[in-house]
Structure 1
Amino acid sequence: MVMMFLMIPVALLMSAGAVAAFVWAVRRGQLDDLVTPAVRILHDDERRAPAHQRGEDGRDPPPSRS
């Protein structure tokens, strides 16, 4: 019985912490867009030139106008 007096407040504090974390995440916009992260992997990345064709600064060369 003595353990119940300890476990109930601990459980209530943990529940309050979980609710506070959820409210904080909602207010910060963490749950605004649930679709884009799931489909972001399906989009192609931009193609980069191979390392031996890049300039000294690591940037891609400008596209040729031919």
Structure 2
Amino acid sequence: MTPLRHKRPDGGSRLCWGDERVDQEVAHYVARVRAERAAHEQPDDAAADAFRLDPPDVVPAVTVAA
């Protein structure tokens, strides 16, 4: 995988992200891609889903009261 940070080094600045946040986002993206690739090698849907759901979200979901 080509290091994503070198493809668009200014991408984080457009979103007002610092270097730490950009590194976090890139690491998360790489983990999601690896999980998706591993999921394709699994024998059934249940096993594939377990791989796909392994990397946590970058920003945890927040429950909003209705």
How would you bin the TM-score normalised by the shorter chain?
A: 0.3 to 0.5
User: Normalising by structure 1, what TM-score?
Assistant: 0.38
User: Normalising by structure 2, what TM-score?
Assistant: 0.38
Larger radius of gyration: 1
